[in-house]
Structure 1
Amino acid sequence: MGKKNGAVLATEPVAEQQTNNNNTELKSSKKNKKNKNKHNLQTEEENTPKRKHEELNNQNDTESEKKSKKKKKHNKSDENDSGNGVEETVSASDEPITVTGKNAKDEKYAAVKTFVGSGLPDNVLECCKGFEKPSPIQSRAWPFLLDGRDLIGIAATGSGKTLAFGLPAIMHVLNKRKNKVSSKGRNPLCLMLSPTRELAQQISDVLCDAGKSCGVESICLYGGTSKGPQISALKSGIDIVIGTPGRIQDLVEMGICRLQEVSFVVLDEADRMLDMGFEQIVRSILGQTCSARQMVMFSATWPLAVHHLAQEFMDPNPVKVVVGSEDLSANHDVMQIVEVLDERLRDKRLLALLEKYHKSQKNRVLVFVLYKWETTRVEKMLQQGGWKAVSISGDKSQHERTKALSLFKNGSCPLMIATDVAARGLDIPDVEVVINFSFPLTLEDYVHRIGRTGRAGKKGVAHTFFTQANKGLSGELVNVLREAGQVVPDDLLKFGTHVKKKESKLYGAHFKEIPVDAPKSKKITFDNSDDED
């Protein structure tokens, strides 16, 4: 379980050993001289555009070879491993799928290829009528979740992960309430935590729609709005609670939101939740739930804090389903254009890009900025220039954020300026272009931003401004561009391709990600020699 073995795969031929034969040595010497001349010729050609294009293609081929070799190595090692299973397949969209965990290769956990094959009742599958077949994350997660297994899911946003955990949650409620009439004042059985209000509302919309046909009721709890309607809904009885940690904690402390019967818990964007400082609140909330619970965690990365949380609250042998790669990678359906420019020229350049990408003022364009005050400044600048724009940020009230998002989604105002609050998990349909006016603080946020376009198999464009102030992230950005087969501008390479070591606030630069199956730490004691006579 956990990460793949970090085996070093040799991609260059190993030098042949010399023999005692003089003629062989002479030939080897000539060959080396010839190779040296050839190397010099290659060095002269390195800076040509043709050479760079070839390098990009060769690099992608080499990465494919490495993945293929790693895959063979895993399959070979699994022959001698009867306890934990590791299964690798490729989805219809050519994304690699890795499933690890105890008994993961059992026949009962085989991928679900059709909705009928999932074994879910028709009234539960009512919400899936618009889809041809389950998405990769759904097809692999459903068999485990419906069997009551704890699961860790790593999949890109827009991959159908909400229904991947949503339908098993509905089935969990139906099985628990079997043959019982929905009673007023019933306590919730499922809890879903989200880092942001917008993502919580999006999950709620999906679950409310999915639960209509089978009588499963959900409620969304988040701050910035009145507690009155939320309290009334909880008192009338609810099956699934979805929300942000802060508001849920408030209602728990008031004695209104009672979680003692919750036996199915989902942490969506778990890494982001801890990044935002919710760790203690999340721990407190989980401590209120039933001790015999099923846990589901979706997380883009697997840092130490998330690992400890999983180790404390999950089964010792959770299943891990990875669709795509655990390494940071962007959606390949998005054309990434990176423009290195002076920071003072960004306003003028943004207006020029809107003339190019948003001339009709009908297609959806999302402009990302870094700070809350930037949203107001850029929004006013665009409005003064005759552009119809809205914005969302943490400074706005929940009513204003919801209204702006609604106007953007329904096409009434298809140009929106946003901070990263809108980047995580939000499913905004048909966003054609993303413009990164300010580069984010991390490459993870960059990948999430550009993931707002190119969704559901459609193509998209992400145009990014990169300035001198962002040079510390140039190496990571170059890697993301190369992995996706995108053009790396020469101006970006001038900043260097060095990638800084990942750091932890607690452990510094020596921090590394911990695999899921890492053993728990043990206390070692020694006899005290000072006590000897």
Structure 2
Amino acid sequence: MAKKHETAIVSEPVAEQIPNGIKAEKKKKKKKDKQNEASPKRKLEEVEIHDDTESNKKSKKHKKSKQNAEENGTVEGNDGNSTKDDESARDGSVVVTGKNVKDAKYEPLRTFSASGLPENVLECCKNFERPSPIQSRAWPFLLDGRDLIGIAATGSGKTLAFGIPAIMHVKSKRKGKASKGRNPLCLVLSPTRELAQQISDVISDAGSSCGVESICLYGGTSKGPQISSLKSGIDIVIGTPGRIKDLIEMGVCCLKEVSFVVLDEADRMLDMGFEQAVRSILGQTCSVRQMVMFSATWPLPVHQLAQEFMDPNPVKVVVGSEDLAANHDVMQIVEVLEDHSRDKRLAALLEKYHESQRNRVLVFVLYKWEATRVENMLREGGWKVVSIHGDKAQSERTKALSLFKKGSCPLMIATDVAARGLDIPDVEVVINYSFPLTTEDYVHRIGRTGRAGKKGVAHTFFTKHNKGLAGELVNVLKEAGQVVPEALLKFGTHVKKKESKLYGAHFKEIPVNAPKSQKITFDNSDDED
């Protein structure tokens, strides 16, 4: 039974017998302390004079940076990238913030021809009616050389949003000269091999019509061909941080001329532990460079990386919301069930969604061993199925993905290596056999369907082991106007706060039926002289 909270009363301390001289000195000191409290700036200056610790040096640096910003007419705001001269422009579901964003030259592009880009550069866009929202808003800024942060859901056309400006950057730098034997000018970093390959396919296709060459560098495959391509000369390097860092250390990947850098899925890169590798790679590029960061969410670590490596006042383009939100073209169905009933339920859903065995269905699991087990189970049940996960060689992963894309084997089992690396417009159904470790990954998984304006279905199994994420999942379902099952609500709707990697959790789990807290008041005894 919860204890009843009572009002605590603190009595005033008994006055001490203090000699007049000491008492006067204490009064004088107290008065000085109050003055310092009223003037935080003065107090900070005194600390800086007497304290030369490492943390104080950082304080001095931050203060000096802020003073310089004020002299230049900018003041850092709460988001770390705002200024007092910032503007905000809204265009439907797109919000753009930054300096001079309302300038006429940054008007959103309603047609591809309005961009003024050469026809051979726009050749890759011929199958699209008009620029997507992120392209419409990002191109004018990126083509003008501005640093940019793009927050957009998966499947929003962001690859071409940064790919076309990257190609134009190369063309303006090369000025018609061949890239043979020359160092790359653009770099695109991606968290996974599959996503790197997807980006490479799009940019290679876009660059082929205008003579811009690119290469995809990732692990799990031979370095020989990659090294040969780098030595022959390349314009754009696309790849994962691990392999690029290896090739830099071998002395075969020189990024000293790279002046256009893209971090795609920046949040995922940091989640996967690539932060040090990313910092090391960025240190090899030009000191004066155009930085582009794309992310589906905007967590604190990504925000800090942007502050460190981007212009103090980048343009920020948000399509939809910065908060966690799912694609509204996807119908989300969540079932709460027991672990042991998942196999039987999966077979029943495949009978429903994959009866013809022609439409593409993607089944997500959490672990590598789980992928193998589910694949074998389905194959024994007569289903034609392939899988991709971390224990498979890259050649096997590439082959499986190719079979799935072509439709030769339209049923695939995958771990989260595929959650952000597949851009296949015709995936009709996603089944989450195992719920992911984060709700962010859930949003990315179901984003494999409902792409390019098409509708999709995401069917998810949720068990008692996932109850810590129930509140976040409920919020995602409600935001998208989806049905929230009663069984899910029984786990509670509170959202677990993120934990500090350094200090751990600073919160206490509160059950749904917890009694309301009572107010505790204290007498104010600070008025005594």
Place the TM-score, normalised by the shorter chain, in its bin.
0.7 to 0.9
SS at match of 2:361: strand
Task: Give CA-to-partner distance per residue, 1:225-264, whole Å, 9 cap, x none.
Answer: 0001001100110000000001101111111000000000
Unaligned residue ranges in structure 2 (runs of 5+): 1-82, 508-529
Q: Provide the residue aligned with 2:123 in structure 1.
A: 126
1:140 alignment counterpart: 137
SS in 2 for 1:211: helix
Corresponding residue number in structure 2 for 1:310: 306
Alignment counterpart, residue 458 of structure 2, candidates 456, 462, 481: 462
Aligned to 1:358: 354
In the aligned structure 1, how far is the partner of 2:146 from the partner of 2:98? 10
| In structure 1, C-alpha distance between the alignment counterparts of 2:188 and 2:250, rounded to whole Å | 19
Matched, 1:150 2:155: no
Return the letter of the residue paired with 2:90.
Answer: E
State the partner residue of 1:280.
Answer: 276
Alignment check: 8 A CA contact 1:157 1:425 kept:
no
In the alignment, the residues of structure 1 paired with residue 155 and residue 303 of structure 2 have an alpha-carbon distance, to the nearest angstrom, of 24
Instruction: Supply the distance in 2 between the matched residues of 1:464 and 1:388 (Cα, whole angstroms).
Output: 22
Secondary structure in 2 aligned to 1:86?
strand
Answer whether contact 1:331 1:454 (CA < 8 A) is retained. Answer: yes
Which of the numbers 229, 235, 238 marks the counterpart of 1:233? Answer: 229
> Any idea what SS the aligned residue of 1:241 has?
strand
Does residue 419 (structure 1) correspond to residue 415 (structure 2)? The answer is yes
Q: Which residue number in structure 1 is paired with residue 387 of structure 2?
A: 391
Please state whether the residue corresponding to 1:288 is helix, strand or coil: coil
Decide which of 85, 88, 113 is 1:86's aligned counterpart: 88
> Distance in 1 between the 2:179 and 2:103 partners?
39
Displacement of 1:299 in angstroms is: 1.3
Give the AA of the match of 1:168. Answer: P
Query: Are 2:364 and 1:368 equivalent residues in the alignment?
Result: yes
Instruction: Give 4+ residue runs of structure 1 displaced > 3 Å after superposition.
Output: 507-511
Match for residue 332 of structure 2?
336
| Other-structure match for 1:109 | 106
Structure 1: how far apart are the matches of 2:300 and 2:255? 27
- Superimposed CA distance per residue, residues 368-412 of structure 1 (whole angstroms, 9 cap, x where no aligned partner): 000111000000000000000000001111001000000000000
1:466-481 to 2 correspondences below 5 Å: 466-481=462-477
Matches within 5 A, 1:433-444: 433-444=429-440
Work out the CA distance in 2 between the residues paired with 1:232 and 1:259: 16
2:180 to 184, 203, 215: 184
Cα drift, residue 198 of structure 1? 0.4
Contact in 1 for aligned 2:87/2:101 (Cα 8 Å): yes
Structure 1 equivalent of residue 52 of structure 2: none
SS at match of 2:283: helix
Instruction: Kindly provide the amino acid, as one letter, of the partner of residue 98 in structure 1.
Output: V
Q: CA deviation at 1:82?
A: 7.5
* In 2, Cα distance between equivalents of 1:457 and 1:357: 20
Shift of 1:510: 5.5
TM-score of the superposition, structure 2-length normalised?
0.79
Q: Deviations over 1:311-341 (max 9, x none)?
A: 1111000000000111111111111111111
> Is it true that 1:493 corresponds to 2:489 in the alignment?
yes
Q: Is the 8 A contact 2:151 2:298 kept in 1?
A: no
Deviation digits for residues 403-443 of structure 1 (CA, Å, limit 9, x no counterpart): 00000000000000000110114202211111000011111
For the Cα contact (< 8 Å) 1:336–1:461, is it kept in 2? yes
**3-state SS, counterpart of residue 461 of structure 1:** strand
Bigger Rg, which one: 2
Q: Give, in whole Å, the separation in 1 of the partners of 2:343 and 2:292.
A: 43
Contact 2:425 2:450 in 1 (8 A): no
Aligned with 2:436: secondary structure? coil
What amino acid sits opposite 1:233 in the alignment?
Answer: S
Equivalent residue for 1:255, pick from 242, 251, 256: 251
Question: What secondary structure is seen at the aligned counterpart in 2 of 1:88?
Answer: strand
Aligned equivalents of 1:183, 1:118: Cα separation in 2: 25
Q: Provide the C-alpha distance between the structure 2 equivalents of 1:228 and 1:307, rounded to a whole number of angstroms.
A: 36
- Residue of 200, 203, 224 corresponding to 1:207: 203
Q: Distance in 2 between matches of 1:183 and 1:164?
A: 23
The partner residue of 1:164 within 161, 169, 172 is 161
RMSD between superposed Cα atoms in Å: 1.2
Instruction: Describe the shift of the 1:458–1:183 C-alpha distance in structure 2 as closer, same or farther (beyond 3 A).
Output: closer
Q: Secondary structure at the match of 1:405?
A: helix
User: Counterparts of 1:493 and 1:483 in 2: how far apart (Å)?
Assistant: 15
Seen in structure 2, the aligned counterparts of structure 1 residues 422 and 171 have a Cα distance that, compared at 3 Å, is same
1:158–1:425 contact (8 Å) kept in structure 2: no
1:301 CA drift (Å) = 2.2
Take 1:336 and 1:190, find their aligned partners in 2: how far apart are those partners?
A: 38
TM-score (norm 1): 0.79
- Partner Cα distance (1:416, 1:285) in 2: 34
For 2:224 and 2:114, how far apart are their aligned partners in 1?
43
Secondary structure in structure 1 of the residue aligned to 2:134: helix
Counterparts of 2:277 and 2:235, CA distance in 1: 22
How far, CA to CA, are the matches of 2:345 and 2:115 in structure 1?
50
AA aligned opposite 1:172: H
State percent identity of aligned pairs. Answer: 84
Judged with a 3 Å threshold, the aligned counterparts in structure 2 of structure 1 residues 507 and 133 are, in CA distance, closer, same or farther, namely: farther
